[in-house]
């Protein structure tokens, strides 16, 4: 599977998220054959929904459309390491592979104390490790860090 290709696809989704008035995050769900099944922007602002993170919203859609056995064969690509809520949504949806671009700590370095993104310092590997499922985690991927961070530049601590 071409992880770089799908991570860069998620970056494009994150840019669309900003154009649509939301936070700069994007996720893509890909099957084992390399077909993009779903993509999702962050919808927290436009939907006035604090749970409108790209990954959680995508997992809601995926779990309605596909069964858990199929989702176990899929990969979630996301621009930033999933927060604990999003990691939990992925766990419950039964997606067994995750690839992300930057860590939660790298994101915090960019967002700082912006109240729109109060980072919870709990990495996704810790969340998954507390469960009973084996979930493969690939990330961070340094080769895409600049591309992932680009939509975040001049976004945080600039608007409210």
Within 8 A by CB and 6+ apart from 35, the residues are none
Helix (H) or strand (E) holding 108: helix 104-111
Q: Is 81 tagged catalytic? A: no
54: three-class secondary structure by DSSP: helix
The shares of helix, strand and coil residues in the chain, as percent rounded to the nearest 5, are 40, 15, 40
Active-site residue among 39, 55, 104, 110?
Answer: 55
Active site residues: 55
């Amino acid at each position: 599977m071409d992880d770089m290709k799908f991570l860069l696809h998620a970056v494009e989704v994150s840019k669309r998220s900003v154009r649509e008035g939301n936070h700069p995050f994007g996720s893509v769900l890909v099957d084992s054959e390399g077909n993009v099944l779903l993509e999702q922007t962050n919808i927290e602002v436009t939907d006035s929904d604090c749970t409108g993170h790209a990954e959680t919203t995508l997992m809601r859609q995926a779990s309605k459309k596909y069964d858990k056995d199929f989702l176990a064969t899929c990969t979630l690509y996301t621009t930033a390491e999933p927060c604990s809520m999003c990691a939990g949504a992925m766990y419950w949806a039964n997606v067994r592979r995750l690839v992300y671009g930057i860590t939660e700590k790298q994101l915090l370095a960019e967002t700082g104390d912006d109240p729109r993104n109060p980072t919870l310092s709990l990495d996704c590997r810790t969340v998954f490790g507390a469960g009973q499922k084996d979930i493969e985690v690939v990330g961070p991927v340094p080769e895409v860090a600049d591309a992932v961070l680009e939509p975040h530049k001049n976004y945080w601590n600039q608007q409210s």
